[in-house]
Chains A and B, each alone.
Chain A
Amino acid sequence: MTYEEKLARFTAKIEDGGKVETEDWMPDDYRRGVLKFIEMHANSEIMGALPERECLPSAPSLRRKMSLAAKIQDEVGHAQLLYRVAEDLGKSREAMYADLINGRSKFHNVFHYPVHHWGDVALIGWLIDGAALVTQAALRESSYAPYTRVLKRICAEEQLHLRHGEDITLELASGTDHQRWMFQDALDRWWLAIIHFFGPRSNVEKDLLLRWKVKTRTNEDLRQEFLDRYVPKIFELGFTLPTPVPFHDKSSGHWLLNEEDIDWGPLDSIKKNEGPETERRLAWRKQMYDDHRWVREAMAEPAIHVA
């Protein structure tokens, strides 16, 4: 079979809603695209653990500390599941770790920002995990089958993280003026980054991942689902949102944003790995990677039983 014939067959399979397994033939740009996408997802899970790790000492009780630690453990686990899937597409785990700490690959924009206090934990847990869940739930329909299988567990755990985040948010929202300020302050700092999280409008013509159905929905479609689901809940709790302020469009029933209100500048810097915390967090990640080398080495050898 010629390359063109294989490609035509592959395209027809994708059009028809068919799924791709690792051992199946796939065009190079499909393989490269899926690998880059899953690698970025894996990087984001591991880098996403860091802001929450920074917040652990400010947990208000032992139980809150333990539940946050459990969540961080889940996120690191997600990274491991995803690196496993990415690895099968032809890039070694070592190479992915190295590219991450050397700033050669990317991770999600929201993990390039600083955390200030416990209000950030509520916000990350409820709204950032909420945003991630909207995108990840859509990816469960992806054409790359091994990815959808790990997303099953990831989404189930993210669902729990969302409840955990909502629980902390509601505690702050029902609390003292200071507690309410903590959540409001976090909202004011994070809102634009959450809007950026979904990315700029998709270019349906040019986006290979959409064409190959690796991604199933456009960025603006996912952002809209997020806004419709969360904006009324935020307002209901008596909090306000900074620019871009969503407004309710009565005719469509949707919560909309004025697109010209969105400043994409900060996202452009982050894409170049020049976000406010990029350098520090990557250096921290590198330090952990180096400090834990002995563990990896010890685990690579079978146990020696001394009598």
Chain B
Amino acid sequence: MFRRSGHKDPFEHAGAVIAPDPDMALMMAKECFVRRREGDHLWVVRRSDVHSFEDESILEIAADKSYRFASAYRDVIQKREKALARAREIEHQS
């Protein structure tokens, strides 16, 4: 069972029910998982229709791709200082 808890969020897996068909599954999901307005939308998907990797280690990043992370640009303060010093040096020359 996938549930969306508001307009800002995507659907997330939030539980499972046992039911003979989709209509009944939706009804069960509503009764079990949306008792206190936890969601404004529900999806049910047959478990056998969910696929996953046999070996989840395939999700690890294969090579150095640190430039995909903000941490690669952490030294921006020092770099800005260096650029400002260079700008002052040029101003001085002219």
Contact = CB atoms under 8 A, between A and B. Distances in A.
Nearest to A149: B10
A159 interface: yes
B79 to A, nearest CB: 4
A87 B10 CA distance: 18
Contact of B87 (A66, A152, A160, A237): A237
Interface of B: 7-10, 41, 65, 67-70, 72-73, 76, 79-80, 82-88, 90-91
Given A70-B67, A163-B70, A170 B8 contact: no
Contacts of B83: 170, 173-174, 237
Contacts of B90: 180, 238
* Top 4 A-B residue pairs of the complex, sorted by shortest distance between their CB atoms: A238-B87, A67-B67, A173-B83, A19-B7
A152 B65 CA distance: 22
Contact of A160 (B8, B68, B76, B85): B68
A160 B72 CA distance: 10
Interface residues of A, number: 25
B82 A170 contact: yes
Given A70-B67, A148-B8, A164-B67, A174 B82 contact: yes
B42 to A, nearest CB: 13
A263 interface: no
A170 B81 CA distance: 9
A159 B70 contact: yes
A167 interface: yes
A30 B72 CA distance: 42
B59 to A, nearest CB: 17
Nearest to B90: A238
Q: Which of B10, B65, B86, B90 has the most CB of A within 10 A?
A: B86
A279 B47 CA distance: 49
Interface of A: 19, 21, 63, 66-67, 70, 145, 148-149, 152, 159-160, 163-164, 166-167, 170-171, 173-175, 180, 236-238
12 contacts: A19-B7, A160-B68, A160-B70, A160-B73, A163-B70, A163-B76, A167-B79, A170-B76, A174-B79, A174-B83, A238-B87, A238-B88
B63 to A, nearest CB: 9
A235 to B, nearest CB: 9
Contact of A170 (B67, B68, B69, B79): B79
Nearest to A20: B7
A300 B49 CA distance: 19
B8 A149 contact: yes
A237 B83 CA distance: 6
A236 B68 contact: no
Contacts of B68: 70, 160
A93 B80 CA distance: 43
A63 B80 CA distance: 20
A163 B77 CA distance: 11
Contacts of B79: 167, 170-171, 174
A237 B70 contact: no
Nearest to A171: B79
Contacts of B41: 21
B7 A70 contact: no
Contacts of A148: 7-8
